[in-house]
Amino acid sequence: MSRPDPRTATETGDIALALGRVTKKFVSGARRVDALQKVSMTAREGRVTGLIGPDGAGKTTLMRLVAGLLVPDEGTISVLGIDAVRDPLDVQSSIGYMPQRYGLYEDLSVQENLDLYADLKGVHLSDRPGRYRELMAMTGLGPFTSRFAGRLSGGMKQKLGLACTLVSPPRLLILDEPTVGVDPVSRRELWAIVYRLVRDEGMSVLLSTAYLDEAERCDDVVVLHEGRILGSGAPKTFSGPMKGRTYRVRVPSVKNRTLQERLSGQPGVVDAVVQGEAVRLVMSNAETQAVEKLVEEMEGALIEAAAPRFEDGFIALLREMRPPAARSAADTGRAVAAAAGKDGETIIKVKDLQRRFGDFYAVKGVTFGVKRGEVFGLLGANGAGKSTTFRMLCGLLPPSGGTLSVAGVDLRRAAASARARIGYMSQKFSLYGNLSVRQNLDFFSSAYGLSGSLRREMIEWAFWQFDLGPVADSTSADLPLGFKQRLAMACALMHAPDIIFLDEPTSGVDPLARREFWQRIDSLAEKGVTVLVTTHFMEEAEYCDRMAIMAAGEILAIGSPAEIKSRARTTELPEPTLEDAFIALITGTTEGVAA
């Protein structure tokens, strides 16, 4: 029974959502996870509030608590003045919630999905045609109403999910990672829709994301990390303190990656990442001399001030909590013997590669080459064909057409000795979850034929290099994501491969872990190891020597990040980002299809 509580009704005012010291634990077997610890936050009405944090930060748990799907162990949750713990059904009739996978029935058509959610949300039959028209116009799904949801692209699914959530206009819209893995065009469109809902319908929006650049699009941001709130406020409150502390550094005689490696870890440096043709530097204070001192020995160093971003503030917050590890991730390549072969030799050749599933082409006409010691990135949204291409390269999936060779052989037909030259880290954690870290390392080293002192040495190296010592005897499945990812990489490197395939290695981990990971990749590349990596993070593609942008199974563009960006350069957009370039490429090629 809903009993209006006079106290909360008057006190909340323009507060759409209020959490007071909310704690939620999950217990599975002997393992206890503190998903949220004494979390207090508010979201204001008529605004977009962003929940920012890596996987496992507690974003989804928080949203499920708000939607009345979970009960907190402690604390209060008030949604639009309703107690979400006591009256979840009342909350549910005034909110719209889109879960991570959109909650669509893939075997129902677009129209049938809409009808179902209209029935469930009690939308009057006479109101439906008008509402459907609005939603179809907003999402651009009008021409596809009879298509099965399962046959839609990722971006279209995301919009249909949103349309189903909006079929009866909610007062509070909750979107759980609506943009993750979706192509940048669809991401921009989704944001346009969200802004319109807030502006025209006065809706309040709570949205979670793992993309830090999206934080800047929110009115307010709540940063979650390991179940605690790290900070909250307008995005400016994060980037503001960084004012005067961010620079772009360029040294013509030094490769960006080398420069970045030299700068990171230096005193006073909070963060150093490759960005475009320069290295972006975040310093611990606003003294310009400190930066000049760093590069004083480098010839022709150019330093220019850069506008602070949300991400800079976030990294600074994380660094305060977690000082950099004693040993640098940058010497991951140390134990890997210099890879055989001459520099500049094309070690991976792919020509007109195709993969068909039924009448659907997951990969069609893909052609590229990768040189020895290169970091080559495949960038694209979920479903663009990145992983399928990878699996064919690793010999896990036979191609339907075209030719490919890795280190001179087709791995699908090659002998085990040829396979021993490659390492593969798959998208999902594919180690043995019920074995301990040590057992996994033991198993993979023996699977790759290491024995005796070499094997012991490599296992020692893995423990030391990847900082796995403290968790040596923990069950792998119970490790935090960052550790799992490190263990997976360690296992893929045990046999010192010449070529390593990394399928979305950084998906879901926090930005510090991502930086550390890229340092390892760079260090491997320095040793002549060829690295192929897929990602759906635009900014990560900047770290690659060369990259290919994929969409719908095809390569849209191939080249260095600078080359690709230069293609999108226009008078209105003199310095396009990779995302701008991606969007320009996609709209250029798909216009004919969508129209």
Partner 1 sequence: MTALKGTGGNPAASGGAGMRLRGLIRKEFLQVLRDPSSIAIAFLMPILLLLLFGYGISLDAEHVPVALVAEQPNADTDSFAGAFRQSRYFAPVVMPGMREAVAALNSRRVDAIIHIKQDFSRRMRSTDGGVIQVIVNGIDANNARLVQGYVEGVWAKWLQAEALANGEPLDIPVQVEERVWFNSELKSRNFIVPGLIAIIMTLIGALLTAMVMAREWERGTMEALIVTPVTIREVVVGKLIPYYILGMGGMVLSVVMSAGLFGVPLKGSLWVLFLASSLFLLAALGMGLLISVVAKNQFVAGQAAIIATFLPAFILSGFLFDISSMPAPVQVITHAVAARYFIAILQTLFLAGNIWPIILPNAAALLLMAGLFLGLARRKSGKRL
Would you state the structure tokens that stand for residue 393, as one six-digit string? 């390269």
Q: Which stretch binds partner 1 (CB under 8 A): 104-112, 178-186, 377-385, 415-423?
A: 104-112
Would you state the structure tokens that stand for residue 330, as one six-digit string? 């940058």
Pick 80 or 487: Cβ nearer partner 1: 80
Does 104 bind partner 1 (CB under 8 A)? Our answer is yes
Pick 68 or 553: Cβ nearer partner 1: 68
Pick 98 or 468: Cβ nearer partner 1: 98
Q: How far is the CB of 307 from partner 1 (least distance, A)?
A: 39
CA 226 to chain centre: 17
C-alpha 581/C-alpha 112 separation (Å) is 36
Would you state the structure tokens that stand for residue 377, as one six-digit string? 């990135």
Does 439 bind partner 1 (CB under 8 A)? Our answer is no
Does 242 bind partner 1 (CB under 8 A)? Our answer is no
Does 105 bind partner 1 (CB under 8 A)? Our answer is yes
Pick 27 or 326: Cβ nearer partner 1: 27
Pick 122 or 574: Cβ nearer partner 1: 122
Burial 150-184 (b: 16+ CB within 10 A, else e): eebbbbbbbbbbbbbbbbbbbbbbbbbbbbbbbbb
Q: Which stretch binds partner 1 (CB under 8 A): 107-115, 151-159, 354-362, 402-410?
A: 107-115
Q: Which of 12, 49, 78, 92 binds partner 1 (CB under 8 A)?
A: 92
User: Which residues ranging from 120 to 139 are in contact with partner 1 (CB under 8 A)?
Assistant: 120-122
Q: How far is the CB of 149 from partner 1 (least distance, A)?
A: 10
Does 73 bind partner 1 (CB under 8 A)? Our answer is no
Pick 103 or 341: Cβ nearer partner 1: 103
* 8 Å CB contact between 277 and 340: no
C-alpha 135/C-alpha 150 separation (Å) is 19
Does 371 bind partner 1 (CB under 8 A)? Our answer is no
Q: Which stretch binds partner 1 (CB under 8 A): 116-124, 517-525, 526-534, 548-556?
A: 116-124
Q: Where are the alpha helices (DSSP H) in 322-396?
A: 386-393
- Region of 426 (left: φ > 0; alpha: ψ -120 to 50; beta: rest) is beta
User: Which residues ranging from 139 to 198 are in contact with partner 1 (CB under 8 A)?
Assistant: 161, 164
Which DSSP string corresponds to 411-426?
Answer: TTTS-HHHHTTEEEE-
Instruction: Please state the φ and ψ torsions of residue 49, each to the nearest 5 degrees.
Output: -105, 125
Q: Which stretch binds partner 1 (CB under 8 A): 105-113, 205-213, 295-303, 415-423?
A: 105-113
Would you state the structure tokens that stand for residue 133, as one six-digit string? 């028209």
Q: Which of 84, 118, 513, 556 binds partner 1 (CB under 8 A)?
A: 118
Does 98 bind partner 1 (CB under 8 A)? Our answer is yes
- In angstroms, the first-to-last Cα distance of the chain is 50
Instruction: Please state the φ and ψ torsions of residue 262, each to the nearest 5 degrees.
Output: -70, -35
Pick 63 or 242: Cβ nearer partner 1: 63
Q: Which of 39, 57, 95, 363 binds partner 1 (CB under 8 A)?
A: 95
* Spatial CB neighbours of 86, under 8 Å, sequence gap ≥ 6: none
Would you state the structure tokens that stand for residue 364, as one six-digit string? 């069609």
Count residues contacting partner 1 (CB under 8 A)? 38
* The residue to which tokens 């599975």 are assigned: 28
Q: Which of 18, 53, 59, 97 binds partner 1 (CB under 8 A)?
A: 97
Does 62 bind partner 1 (CB under 8 A)? Our answer is no
Pick 86 or 349: Cβ nearer partner 1: 86
C-alpha 423/C-alpha 514 separation (Å) is 19
Does 108 bind partner 1 (CB under 8 A)? Our answer is yes
Does 80 bind partner 1 (CB under 8 A)? Our answer is no
Angle in degrees, CA 268, 332, 294, rounded to 5? 25
Provide the pairing of β-strand 82-83 with 95-98: unpaired
Would you state the structure tokens that stand for residue 461, as one six-digit string? 């190296």
The one-character DSSP state at 279 is E
Does 27 bind partner 1 (CB under 8 A)? Our answer is no
Helical (H) or strand (E) element with 565: helix 561-567
Does 100 bind partner 1 (CB under 8 A)? Our answer is yes
Which of 210, 301, 207, 312 has the alpha carbon at shortest distance from 259? 301
Q: How far is the CB of 113 from partner 1 (least distance, A)?
A: 9
Q: How far is the CB of 182 from partner 1 (least distance, A)?
A: 16
Half-sphere exposure of residue 407, counting CA atoms within 13 Å on the CB side?
Answer: 26
Does 69 bind partner 1 (CB under 8 A)? Our answer is yes
Does 70 bind partner 1 (CB under 8 A)? Our answer is yes
Does 33 bind partner 1 (CB under 8 A)? Our answer is no
Q: Can you give the binding site for partner 1, defined by CB under 8 A? A: 1-2, 64, 67-71, 87-90, 92-93, 95, 97-108, 112, 115-122, 161, 164
